[in-house]
């Protein structure tokens, strides 16, 4: 836990809470995803702050317009800590969020170079000015002993912008997506500025060791003699400071998922689902509808499975939950069409009577709503083309009833570096995925329990709260070593 003397200041693009003005006052809802739940206790206990984008201008749920309409005491009672919204112009949202962040950095860091749109001349200036606005907010509201924790690829320039004004600020940055190797990273026209931006931090965190190694390599190749990279200690000497780089794998709130999975109706609902689909076996995929998640390839692998193992027609169905995401970005609209077309062609070719090989839901599910689907599934097919970690893989393992169920996992995910008992697949190898499905539904119960039991134990042994604690502890350890080095 944080020392009582320091406040935690979280900086993220996404707001921790959604707010809405209702006739009864302000309705506040915690945003989905483990990050808010994990950081909330720490920020609250340290009397900290959360700096985030204010949300879409003119929308009823825009943070600033709701907060500005409240008295100070009303605003204070709304959230467990102070939330400081950053206002961005429409142009910045288009070219920073939908532009540089999600049309350049997101595809590139997921190794999909041909998806990058490098020629939007407003993208980089907007990314720069949006990062400046986040940094200004932090500079205006932070105190010298605060631990400022910046999150993700949207805000890579923020650490150095803060440091430029507050030389002794205490700053950490965590990257939630993969960090690519230099051969991929070097495509970025602004590769040097981004590295300098991140190096404004004292501590830099990634999910797994391979991303740490890639980052160290990129720092060395981009900044040449300006830096000294020590691979043994995973530290970088730059501009008279030492920056520590760590692997710190994010996880989930295990107690919450264990409790949700034991929910009153989960088991009955899961039986009802299988009955409704009228099948013996059910597989599941849960993803944001993002081209990095490998959904089209997954559907093709399922088609191949039924061609290769036709005895499972009418006996197995695959359920895909795809939640809408970044719908303003053209590539995502294209993906939606591609998913619809692929699904239509597979289902129309293979369907028999009322049986469909793939059932597809294009909408958002809450965690409660996901539970019966997890519990009903004989296997979960998580096959991103690349993924920083993938939390759905961990959620599935805690929801399997009696440790029965098989996790089929892409070797291109961060999760695959720790969840070694999963059945590993290459998401580009359709045949290996089809065979993995067969392996899963014919796997003896004893082997399922052995694999799933080991996966569950590991997840329970390092939760999202341990992730927060590890990051903060590494921060303090690094500071202590730096102090000792100065004294010696
Ligand atoms: C990024 C990185 C990294 C709830 N309803 C739905 C749904 N949820 C929840 C899931 C899970 C979360 O959303 C999705 O987390 P993931 O980790 O799978 O993926 P990203 O959103 O891409 O997250 C990723 C993560 O940051 C944390 O660092 O692991 O690599 O890309 O909790 O239960 N998810 C979907 N549909 C719903 O209806 N897809």
Q: Which domain holds residue 282?
A: 254-461
Average pLDDT, the chain: 93
281 and 359 belong to one structural domain:
yes
Closest residue by CA, ligand 1 atom 19? 390
The average pLDDT across 187-200 equals 98
pLDDT band at 62 (very low <50, low <70, confident <90, very high): confident
Residue 3 domain flag: no
Higher pLDDT, 434 or 34: 434
In angstroms, what is the span from residue 370 Cα to ligand 1's centroid? 12
The reported pLDDT for the residue numbered 57 is: 64
Residue 483 domain flag: no
- How many distinct structural domains can be found in the chain? 2
361 and 442 belong to one structural domain:
yes
The reported pLDDT for the residue numbered 331 is: 87
Closest residue by CA, ligand 1 atom 32? 33
The average pLDDT across 432-444 equals 98
pLDDT, tens digit, for every residue of 344-391? 999 999 999 999 999 999 998 988 999 999 999 999 999 999 999 999
When mean pLDDT is compared across 1-10, 260-269, 334-343, the lowest value belongs to 1-10
The average pLDDT across 230-240 equals 97
Beta strands in 225-382 (DSSP E): 227-230, 235-238, 241-247, 281-288, 316-323, 358-361, 379-382
The atom number, within ligand 1, closest to the CA of 366 reads 5
Helix (H, G, I), strand (E, B) or coil at 27: strand
In angstroms, what is the span from residue 180 Cα to ligand 1's centroid? 20
286 and 354 belong to one structural domain:
yes
pLDDT band at 60 (very low <50, low <70, confident <90, very high): low
Residue 299 domain flag: yes
Burial class of residue 300 in the structure, from the number of CB atoms within 10 Å of its CB (0-12 exposed, 13-18 middle, 19+ buried): middle
Closest residue by CA, ligand 1 atom 30? 388
Q: What is the model's pTM? A: 0.94
When mean pLDDT is compared across 48-57, 160-169, 181-190, 380-389, the lowest value belongs to 48-57
218 and 364 belong to one structural domain:
no
The atom number, within ligand 1, closest to the CA of 288 reads 39
Residue 150 parent element (H or E): strand 147-151
The atom number, within ligand 1, closest to the CA of 33 reads 32
pLDDT band at 429 (very low <50, low <70, confident <90, very high): very high
Ligand 1 pocket by C-beta < 6 Å: which residues? Answer: 32-34, 176-177, 250, 286-288, 321, 323, 364-365, 367, 370, 387-392, 395
When mean pLDDT is compared across 78-92, 195-209, 354-368, the lowest value belongs to 78-92
In angstroms, what is the span from residue 251 Cα to ligand 1's centroid? 11
In angstroms, what is the span from residue 232 Cα to ligand 1's centroid? 33
The average pLDDT across 224-228 equals 96
In angstroms, what is the span from residue 55 Cα to ligand 1's centroid? 20
The reported pLDDT for the residue numbered 279 is: 96
Residue 2 domain flag: no
Percent of the chain beyond pLDDT 90?
A: 79
In angstroms, what is the span from residue 39 Cα to ligand 1's centroid? 16
The average pLDDT across 261-273 equals 91
The atom number, within ligand 1, closest to the CA of 364 reads 38
In angstroms, what is the span from residue 420 Cα to ligand 1's centroid? 20
240 and 258 belong to one structural domain:
no
332 and 265 belong to one structural domain:
yes
pLDDT, tens digit, for every residue of 26-35? 788 777 666 7
The average pLDDT across 191-199 equals 98
Assign residue 279 the CATH number of its domain: 3.40.50.2000
pLDDT band at 61 (very low <50, low <70, confident <90, very high): low
Q: Is the pLDDT score of 473 beyond 70? A: yes
In angstroms, what is the span from residue 194 Cα to ligand 1's centroid? 25
The reported pLDDT for the residue numbered 18 is: 81
pLDDT band at 59 (very low <50, low <70, confident <90, very high): low
Long-range contacts of 136-144 (CB under 8 A, 24+ apart): 137/51, 137/84, 137/86, 138/9, 138/11, 138/51, 138/162, 139/165, 139/166, 141/9, 141/49, 141/51, 141/84, 142/9, 142/49, 142/166, 142/169, 143/7, 144/168, 144/169
Q: Is the pLDDT score of 237 beyond 70? A: yes
297 and 314 belong to one structural domain:
yes
Closest residue by CA, ligand 1 atom 9? 33
The average pLDDT across 49-73 equals 75
Q: Is the pLDDT score of 3 beyond 60? A: no
The average pLDDT across 231-250 equals 97
Residue 1 domain flag: no
pLDDT, tens digit, for every residue of 140-165? 999 999 999 999 999 999 999 999 99
Radius of gyration of the chain (CA): 23
245 and 272 belong to one structural domain:
no
**CB distance 150 to 201 below 8 Å:** yes
The average pLDDT across 90-95 equals 92
The atom number, within ligand 1, closest to the CA of 290 reads 22
88 and 223 belong to one structural domain:
yes
Residue 472 domain flag: yes
104 and 232 belong to one structural domain:
yes
pLDDT band at 446 (very low <50, low <70, confident <90, very high): very high
The reported pLDDT for the residue numbered 20 is: 76
The atom number, within ligand 1, closest to the CA of 286 reads 39
240 and 310 belong to one structural domain:
no
Residue 485 domain flag: no
Structure tokens at 177: 């997506």
The reported pLDDT for the residue numbered 442 is: 98
Query: Residue 8, Cα to own-chain centre: how many angstroms?
Result: 21
Closest residue by CA, ligand 1 atom 13? 33
In angstroms, what is the span from residue 395 Cα to ligand 1's centroid? 10
Residue 49 domain flag: yes
259 and 235 belong to one structural domain:
no
């Amino acid at each position: 836990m944080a020392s009582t003397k320091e406040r935690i200041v979280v900086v993220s693009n996404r707001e921790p809470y959604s707010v809405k003005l209702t006739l009864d006052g302000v309705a506040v809802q915690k945003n989905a995803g483990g990050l808010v739940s994990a950081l909330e206790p720490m920020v609250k206990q340290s009397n900290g702050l959360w700096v985030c984008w204010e949300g879409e201008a003119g929308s009823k749920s825009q943070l600033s317009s709701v907060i500005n309409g409240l008295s100070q005491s009303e605003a204070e009672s709304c959230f467990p800590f102070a939330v400081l919204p950053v206002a961005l112009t429409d142009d910045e949202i288009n070219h920073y969020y939908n532009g540089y962040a999600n049309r350049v950095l997101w595809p590139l860091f997921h190794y999909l170079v041909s998806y990058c749109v490098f020629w939007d001349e407003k993208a980089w200036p907007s990314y720069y000015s949006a990062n400046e606005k986040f940094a200004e907010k932090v500079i205006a509201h932070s105190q010298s002993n605060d631990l400022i924790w910046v999150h993700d690829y949207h805000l890579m320039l923020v650490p150095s912008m803060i440091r430029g004004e507050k030389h002794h600020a205490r700053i950490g940055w965590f990257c939630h997506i993969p960090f690519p190797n230099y051969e991929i990273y070097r495509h970025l026209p602004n590769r040097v500025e981004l590295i300098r931006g991140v190096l404004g931090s004292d501590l830099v965190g990634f999910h797994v060791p391979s991303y740490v190694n890639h980052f160290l390599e990129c720092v060395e190749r981009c900044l040449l003699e300006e830096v000294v990279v020590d691979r043994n200690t995973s530290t970088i000497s730059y501009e008279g400071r030492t920056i520590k780089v760590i692997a710190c794998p994010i996880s989930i709130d295990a107690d919450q998922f264990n409790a949700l999975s034991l929910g009153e109706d989960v088991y009955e609902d899961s039986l009802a689902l299988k009955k409704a689909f009228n099948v013996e076996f059910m597989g599941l995929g849960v993803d944001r509808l993002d081209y990095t998640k490998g959904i089209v390839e997954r559907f093709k692998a399922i088609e191949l499975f039924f061609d290769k193992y036709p005895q499972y027609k009418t006996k197995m169905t695959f359920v895909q939950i795809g939640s809408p995401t970044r719908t303003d970005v053209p590539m995502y609209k294209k993906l939606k069409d591609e998913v619809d077309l692929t699904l239509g062609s597979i289902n129309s070719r293979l369907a028999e009577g009322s049986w469909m090989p793939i059932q597809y839901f294009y909408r958002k599910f809450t965690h409660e709503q996901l539970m019966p689907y997890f519990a009903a599934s004989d296997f979960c097919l998580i096959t991103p083309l690349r993924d920083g970690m993938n939390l759905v893989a961990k959620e599935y393992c805690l929801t399997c009833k009696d440790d029965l169920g098989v996790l089929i996992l892409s070797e291109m995910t961060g999760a695959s570096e720790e969840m070694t008992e999963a059945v590993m697949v290459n998401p580009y190898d359709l045949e290996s995925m089809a065979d993995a499905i067969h392996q899963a539904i014919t796997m003896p119960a004893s082997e399922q329990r052995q694999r799933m039991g080991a996966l569950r134990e590991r997840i329970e042994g390092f939760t999202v709260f341990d992730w927060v604690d590890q990051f903060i502890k590494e921060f303090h350890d690094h500071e202590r070593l730096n102090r000792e080095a100065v004294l010696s």
